[in-house]
Amino acid sequence: MTQHELEKRLAGLKEESLPELPEVVHTRMEETYRMIVERDEASLEETPPKDISKHRRKHSWLYRVIISAASVAAGLVIIISLGFISPAMAETLKQLPFLESVFNLVGDAGLQKANKAGLTTNVQQSVTQDGTTISVSEQMYDGSRLSVVLTRAQTDGSDKGKWLDLTRMSEEAGGINNIEFRVNGKSVNTGNSMASGGTGAPDAVIVTALNEANLQVPESFDLTMLVSINGIKKPFRFEFPVSKNTLGDLVLVPGEIKVHDSIHLQHTRLELSQTSTRLLTEVTGDPGANIKAIEEAIPDKYKQQGSFNLGFELWDGQGQEAVMVDGSNRGNVDKLTYSSVFEPFEKRPEQIIIKAFVTKDGKKLYIPELEMTVPIQ
């Protein structure tokens, strides 16, 4: 987009009054100016006398440009953060490089769609400890999953490699050791998964959580994240409000129970939206059977090293498979529960085929007797 086109698009948008810039913005502007002044003064000492006045005029012009650009950039961030923005302005601003979304850069199809539809929320919080700064830049919650962008920056100038690579090496300094989630101040029993920011954002990870099958979470709540980093004693603490934000929700309760080889399978909930598809499933046994009895009754041909764990695929009627984003399972007193989150189908299908399988010796072993077709209303 050219400068003229950008100015033309912005001119047609409703002007909103901006609050006073935060102190952190003023501080960053002053630090930037100070660095340039110091570099400029060093250059000034080497400038011939006849060129000094010309050099100072350039210095003054540069200062005004820097302050104006920084003010505009800070103002735009404030507009987005506080929600004072129309869809048209949001689409215009997304084309500016300093406002590029990690969701849009490397997120799955659902996160990219959520970002383009304005369903993501800017957080912009940073905490610095022991020479490392961790930031939360944006989040998305659609009721099926919470996705948060975490970014790492070393203020000591060291280069410790891609962040997700460090995190996968459990004891490597700088990697993420644990994340505790608190909803309205109460710790919730939820796992999380991480996706890399890739080459576009190597120091960023997309964290997905709050998608457990039995987790009860309100549509709006205050979230606390305690991010523990290897080599740093105190966790990084972030607090921000979260609200369910999605389009075109459809919730189905298939209800049908499939029974095969002592596996009693029931899909209890199928959630479809423009940003996620989530399948909730329960496996039970004979009446009165507990978890141990349920697993012992299942034939060994469905187990890997003595453990039974189902997986699921979602297909539409046209042979298109939904891409899986995350999954979790948990054992309760008398049942196994599964939560499987997928990218949304490009187009809402007329029916969804649910295929069950187990992974054995590195290969998928499908169980056609447990396959189920769910019509979409």
Q: Does some domain include residue 340?
A: yes
The residue among 55, 82, 109 that closes a domain is 82
The residue among 29, 48, 82 that closes a domain is 82
Tell me the CB-side half-sphere exposure of residue 274, using CA atoms within 13 A.
Answer: 15
Residue 28 predicted with pLDDT over 50 = no
pLDDT of amino acid 10: 52
**Exposed, middle or buried: residue 60 (CB in 10 Å: 0-12, 13-18, 19+)?**
exposed
pLDDT of amino acid 27: 44
Domain count, the chain: 3
Q: Does some domain include residue 371?
A: yes
Q: Where is pLDDT greater, at 239 or 104?
A: 239
Same domain, residue pair 113 and 11? no
Same domain, residue pair 62 and 25? yes
Q: Which residues contact 315 (CB under 8 A, 6 or more apart)?
A: 321, 322, 352, 353, 355
Q: Distance between CA 212 and CA 183 in Å, rounded?
A: 14
Q: Does some domain include residue 96?
A: no
Same domain, residue pair 40 and 107? no
pLDDT of amino acid 158: 53
Q: Of 89-93, 95-99, 254-258, 320-324, which has the strongest mean pLDDT? A: 320-324
CATH of the domain at 138: 2.60.40
Least confident of 104-113, 237-246, 306-315: 104-113
Domain that holds residue 142: 101-243
pLDDT of amino acid 370: 97
Q: List own/partner pairs for 188-196 with CB under 8 A and 24 or more apart.
A: 188/215, 188/217, 189/215, 190/215, 191/328, 193/326, 194/164, 194/167, 195/106, 195/107, 195/108, 195/164, 196/106, 196/162, 196/163, 196/164
Rounded average pLDDT over 41-56: 49
Same domain, residue pair 116 and 228? yes
Q: Where is pLDDT greater, at 64 or 286?
A: 286
Same domain, residue pair 360 and 302? yes
CA angle 321, 324, 327 (to 5 degrees): 140
CATH of the domain at 359: 2.60.40.1640
E strand residue ranges, 101-219: 121-129, 132-141, 146-154, 176-183, 186-187, 192-196, 204-209
Q: Of 63-67, 87-91, 280-284, which has the strongest mean pLDDT? A: 280-284
In the chain, the percentage of residues whose pLDDT exceeds 90 is 45
Same domain, residue pair 237 and 371? no
pLDDT of amino acid 8: 52
Q: Does some domain include residue 188?
A: yes
- Note the pTM of the prediction, 2 decimals: 0.68
- How do residues 152-174 score in pLDDT, each as one tens digit? 986 555 555 578 877 777 677 88
Residue 77 predicted with pLDDT over 60 = no
Same domain, residue pair 266 and 368? yes
Same domain, residue pair 321 and 366? yes
CB 370 within 8 A of CB 265: yes
pLDDT of amino acid 22: 45
pLDDT of amino acid 12: 56
CB 136 within 8 A of CB 149: yes
Q: Distance between CA 101 and CA 125 in Å, rounded?
A: 15
Q: Does some domain include residue 254?
A: yes
Q: Which residues contact 295 (CB under 8 A, 6 or more apart)?
A: 308
**Exposed, middle or buried: residue 262 (CB in 10 Å: 0-12, 13-18, 19+)?**
middle
The residue among 243, 259, 285 that closes a domain is 243
Same domain, residue pair 291 and 349? yes
Q: Distance between CA 108 and CA 110 in Å, rounded?
A: 5
Q: Does some domain include residue 29?
A: yes
pLDDT of amino acid 275: 92
Q: Does some domain include residue 87?
A: no
End-to-end Cα separation, the chain, in angstroms: 42
Q: Does some domain include residue 191?
A: yes
Mean pLDDT for the chain overall = 78
Rounded average pLDDT over 282-294: 91
Same domain, residue pair 207 and 187? yes
Confidence of residue 74 (pLDDT cuts 50, 70, 90): very low
pLDDT of amino acid 346: 87
Confidence of residue 31 (pLDDT cuts 50, 70, 90): very low
Same domain, residue pair 28 and 150? no
Same domain, residue pair 190 and 275? no
Rounded average pLDDT over 272-279: 93
pLDDT of amino acid 54: 47
pLDDT of amino acid 48: 55
